[in-house]
Amino acid sequence: MLDAYRRSRALRSGSATQPIPQLNDEDELVALLSHWMIKPPEQGPYYGRRLLDPSPATKESQGVPTLRRRFRIGRSAQAGAWQIKLVESDVSHADDEIVGALGSLVGFEVLAQVAAGAAEGPRYDDKIGNSERSALLRLSVLDHPFHTTRARVRIVRNWIDIDGDDKPDINPVFVLASGYSEWSCEGRTPQHVDGKLLDQAKVPEAGRELRVVPTNIPPEARMREWLSKADAGGVFDAGDALPAVLDVPVFIDVDDGDKAKSLWESDWMRHDGFTVSAMINRTITDIGARYGIEVSVYPIPTRETTTVRQVRNAVPAGNLGTLLNDLQPAEILSLDAWARLAWRDGEGHAVLEVDMPLTFKNR
């Protein structure tokens, strides 16, 4: 496919600096396009996946109900202060899935412009001129890490509640309301746990490595299996490595009777409400010859080269034992590989990313 593209580009330009690639068979190009786009074979590099197929997490998120709440920010004539009120009549049918007050608007702040010559900005009840009418509204929402919240606002100019019953004392026909603003969403960056962070925390190796060797098998035997399949092809089963590392006790909890506990929150990391995927990577270290006084090589980390060797599609976190059960040594081509594991919520948003090396040690 790459040769076909280069040939087409060279023929269009008419000034190829290199020999124009020749296609051995045009039917071969059609077959390759069919494999990538229409009917992928089960063997590599396709593994039954079309190039443009959405991930399972994307498919599942399309049917997840959206939790909606509407709030009204205004000045209460009875209380004599600004208040935030939940508009009960607009609570969605999925509202009972929000625990307690999660998902509620709990505060707001108006960041207004300061008029020219003024020593400070206007107060909330001040009348302001046209030149300072543009302001920034900051909303505070009580939420948890597994929800992604977005908000939009509109201005209702003459809505008023004099008797404090949370109902407008004006005929709704005469309410002057602006259109809704664009949606605004506070972006979230998933927690990323890499080797440097685990080094700083002095986490024992058993609690941070994907050990692919069962207890009763010599590591040399699993290494020979890996190397033979790297040459001849085949599947390497490392499925039990991930569930095992989540349960390895690595610290003593003095607040819970000195119990030995794992570093990982394995309860939610195994919950079916999440999915987990993996990228198997290979990193080539810098091997440039730079010698110091003691004739030692000093590699430069920024010159390391990392490539993705295999992508494992997301599976329900309750079945995470199947995530690494069909690794392809012929694709990875290294004994020194590592995995980036990503947990996503039901909406497809990344929650946690963890980097772990694959090691040929006994569990």
- Tokens 């794992």 locate to 262
Burial class (CB in 10 A: 0-12, 13-18, 19+), 344: buried
Is 8 part of any domain? no
For the chain, what is the domain count? 3
What is the predicted pLDDT for the residue at 204? Answer: 92
20 is a domain residue: no
Provide the 3-class DSSP secondary structure of residue 219.
helix
Q: Which pLDDT score is estimated for 248?
A: 92
Strands 135-142 and 337-344: unpaired
Amino acid at 15: S
Claim to verify: residue 49 and residue 86 sit in the same structural domain: no
Residue 268 and residue 345 in one domain: yes
Contacts of 214 (CB under 8 A, 6+ apart): 240, 362, 363
How far apart, in whole angstroms, are the C-alpha atoms of residue 200 and residue 202?
5
- Residue at 328 is within a domain: yes
CA distance 324 to 311: 10
Q: Are residues 269 and 229 in the same domain?
A: yes
Claim to verify: residue 101 and residue 231 sit in the same structural domain:
no
Shared domain check, 170 and 123? yes
Cis-peptide into 122, omega within 30 deg:
no
80/50 same-domain check: no
| Residue 133 forms part of a structural domain | yes
The pLDDT, as a whole number, for residue 96 is: 47
221, 83: one domain: no
Q: Which two tokens stand for residue 138?
A: 């900051």
167 within some domain: yes
Tell me if 321 sits within 8 A of 210, measured CB to CB.
no
Q: Is residue 80 a contact partner of residue 362, using CB atoms and an 8 Å limit?
A: no
Mean pLDDT by 10 residues, the chain (363 residues): 60 54 66 80 70 52 64 77 73 47 78 78 76 80 70 86 76 85 74 89 92 94 95 94 93 85 88 92 79 65 86 93 94 93 84 94 92
Same domain, 313 and 261: yes
HSE on the CB side for 34, CA within 13 Å?
8
pTM of the model: 0.53
- Residue 60 within a domain: no
Q: Are residues 323 and 233 in the same domain?
A: yes
Query: Does some domain include residue 222?
Result: yes
Claim to verify: residue 88 and residue 213 sit in the same structural domain = no
Does residue 321 sit in the same domain as residue 264?
A: yes
Domain that holds residue 42: 25-54
Q: What pLDDT score does 354 carry?
A: 95
CA–CA distance, 132 with 116 (Å, rounded to integer): 9
- The C-alpha atoms of residue 98 and residue 93 are separated, in whole angstroms, by 11
CA 309 from centre of chain: 20
Q: Are 234 and 148 contained in the same domain?
A: no
Secondary element (H or E) of residue 242: helix 241-246
Asked if residue 181 is part of any domain, the answer here is yes
CA distance 344 to 190: 9
Determine which helix (DSSP H) or strand (DSSP E) holds 224, and give its type and residue range.
Answer: helix 219-232
